[in-house]
Amino acid sequence: MSRELDKAREYEAGKKEQIPSEQKCVFHLTPPVGWINDPNGFSRYQGEYHLFYQYYPYGTSWGPMHWGHQKTKDFIKWELVPCALAPDTEYDGQGCFSGSAVEHDGKHILMYTSVYDRLQEDGTHKIRQTQSIAIGDGVNYEKLSCNPVIKSDALPEGSSVVDFRDPRIWKEKDTFYSVIGSLDADGSGQLALFSSADAVKWQFKSILDANGGRYGKMWECPDFFPLDGSHVLIVSPQFMRAEGLEFHNGHNSIYFVGSFDEENGKFHRGKAKSLDFGMDFYAPQTVETADGRRVMVGWLQSWDNYLTPEEFEWSGMMTVPRELKLKSGKLIQNPVRELENYRRNEVACRDVRLCEADGQRRLPGISGRVLDMTLDVDVRRASSFTVHLASDGDYVTTVSYDVNQGTLTTDRTYSGQRKDMICSRTMYVDQKDGCIRLRVLLDKYALELFVNDGEQAMTSLLYTPLEADGIAFSCTGEAVFDITKYDIIV
């Protein structure tokens, strides 16, 4: 084990005891200390699920990337495992960037982007992103002596030698595959597909897909998997221009449903769709569970809107893992069913009729900052309705549905921010027989919305003081609410 890795492990072990546990989220994964971003290595290993993540333990902003590590048996309770990788070799001294993992012959194989940056005599920097392998036992991982195992010279001529990152490894029968993001000669994104018999010696197979300048530039953090008779490609484009109410944030996560020509290594995709419409969602990664479910987790933070309070010694969290299904070509997302095992203190309010004259109405037992709440709202006689969350008179975050426009909006303008940040996001939502179903997960600072049984998702941060735990409902016209709320206790 290297000095750098020892240092990181000792630091996180000591600092995690100094951070108040009540400051952390309850059922969202957070770091022991420091900064985290992209989920990495989401995989099943020896009967447990491991999640690594981009990690800088020594501060609350991005720094030389390590791999932090936690594991779980049910996607809700997470156990800290010591830091897995540190930038401690010549080829990855500037960072162990994003990657993935797979189990093979009792070992856990990590594949990651290794970053090299050297100052040249002429004052310029020589930067290279290559792909490396580390193999371990679920706790300790050893980098291969032959690293890096894939260099940019394996790409088609003209491809970028700098932007080549985020390998997604998987195994089919006797062959390993990896799809890796890079840039074509014209500066647009492409996904290179590689194969290997042993996860050490790799051969370029094809360009799985290329964006041709459409949907941003570099396609970061690709994930590619079969689902319900089709193949799904998830990518997180950089520098993407908004179109209507879709593809905001500049750094987005989108998905395509299509078919995979395995012989030629080509993906034939359909139309791009937004994966999440919120203000804080990026770089998702999936795993196949032992019972055959496809489960996804994403980084619950934005590159361009840094909201972490100054007094915090940690920054970043992961979404609740979500089960994925396909329905009519659309990706359906819902919180993993294991969350239901932690529901307590059910409060049900049925046939609650609200009109504009009621103003903001609170209901007995409906409050809190750590909860799972489902609303069925009949809007046939309403013009709009609003759910007021994390409220105490000074602070509030609202979720509003405009019946005439058919739009749902999250607005955190008054959640307590003291900087000029993006504070609202809107998406189109269809009514179902005059009704809207809205599932609200609130975990202190995390707000995840799932609309109409997972047809759409909207994820955002709100760093509101925890004392603001009121919830109220209002409408224009007349709306009828059925509400079921649970506390989540882990």
Question: Cα(251)–Cα(239) distance, rounded to whole angstroms?
Answer: 6
Question: Cα(26)–Cα(445) distance, rounded to whole angstroms?
Answer: 10
Question: Cα(27)–Cα(129) distance, rounded to whole angstroms?
Answer: 34
- Indicate left, alpha or beta for 240 from its phi (over 0: left) and psi (-120 to 50: alpha): beta
Pairing of strands 370-391, 435-443: antiparallel
| Number of Cβ atoms within 10 Å of the Cβ of 34 | 25
Question: What is the residue whose two structure tokens read 């893992």?
Answer: 321
Question: Cα(451)–Cα(442) distance, rounded to whole angstroms?
Answer: 15
CB 443 within 8 A of CB 488: yes
CB burial class (10 A; 0-12, 13-18, 19+) of residue 133? buried
CB burial class (10 A; 0-12, 13-18, 19+) of residue 347? middle
Burial 423-455 (b: 16+ CB within 10 A, else e): bebbbebeeeeebbbbbbbbbbbbbbbbbbebb
Residue among 6, 38, 291, 351 flagged as catalytic: 38
Pairing of strands 343-355, 330-335: unpaired
- Catalytic (active site) residue 38: yes
Q: How many residues can be counted in the chain? A: 490
CB 318 within 8 A of CB 300: yes
Supply the residues annotated as catalytic.
38
